[in-house]
Amino acid sequence: MTTRRTRRRGGARAIVLALLCVLVAVPAGSGATPDAAAAPDVAARPNVTQGHYVGTFNIYGNIGHRGDAGDWIEEEADAIRNLRRGGMDRWLFIGLQEVCQAQGERFARELGLRSAFIDTGTDCVDGQPYGNAILFHSATKILPPALLPNPDNRGGERGIICAVVRAAGDRGPSGPQVTACSTHLSAGVTKDREREAQAAFIRHGWKPDGTHTLGADGPLVIAGDLNAPPDAPELDVMYDGVEASGPRGSGPPFAFPTYEDGRKLDYLFVWGERGAARWADTGTRPTIYSDHDFYYSELSMGIG
């Protein structure tokens, strides 16, 4: 069992951006039958596609686990697989943060998924590349990753990795596609301006193809640890989208806290131009293996 420890802040280093989009083909999940209740009835929601779950999880992979990709990942994967009826076929994608490369790869294998990884230039304590990962069934495209703005050049780089993904079993050209991203903004009480610049870059500044901003060609889902509570001004631009736990003022103090001290720091945002997107069955799953909860919700995309 790994005990929780204080998060590391700072530690300037020379930064190298390396794209490590690792596509890992693995067999389907185990098919274990969960005890959770069935998903909401989509038939009661006209003009809405079948919902699929999206999740985000800061796995505490370096400071908490020192790069270890051992059996704790199998335990976490089993818990995720059994979280909702239908197993991994009900999941669209999962974003991981604070990931050492081998950890992201093992999560993918255990869940029967593929993965893409961005190395943000900081090594884990065992020498592995460190960054963010995204797990999915299939992808028509892996977008070129990006480092986020780091105006003071201190505290380590942050990045974003995105893929255009499809649901399980949906390989046809007319099937819905979603641009799915995993990101991690800077941490610290003095980093609000930096987080503001990073959020603005993601929402309006980044052009992965050199011409169009992220999500310009269809639905976009951002999963990540944004290191700020919902009322933080630096997240204003993110709330142009629809967040899985609802409006900023929902809940006392906010719905679905995700960090061990009771704050909400992890988010699922959706933007799109194909009709209304709806979140349902939002929840968190605490774990002894991270200082963050696994945060998830069912996403249904409008089709009319």
Domain extent listing, the chain: 50-301
| pLDDT for residue 10 | 36
**Average pLDDT across the chain, whole number:** 83
**Local confidence band at 304 (pLDDT 50, 70, 90 cut-offs):** very low
Burial class (CB in 10 A: 0-12, 13-18, 19+), 34: middle
State the pLDDT at residue 26: 39
Residue 228 has pLDDT above 60, yes or no: yes
> What is the reported pLDDT for 277?
83
The pLDDT tens digits for 85-138 are 889 999 999 999 999 999 999 999 999 999 999 999 999 999 999 999 999 999
Q: Which residues contact 41 (CB under 8 A, 6 or more apart)?
A: none
**Cα separation of 163 and 221, whole Å?**
10
Q: Classify domain 50-301 at the CATH topology level.
A: Deoxyribonuclease I; Chain A (3.60.10)
| End-to-end alpha carbon distance in the chain | 48
Three-class DSSP category at 182: strand
Q: Is the pLDDT score of 25 beyond 90?
A: no
Gap between the Cα atoms of 260 and 71, Å rounded: 23
CA 10 to chain centre: 23
Higher model confidence: residue 41 or residue 238? Answer: 238
pLDDT attached to residue 168: 87
In this prediction, residues 261-279 reach a mean pLDDT of: 86
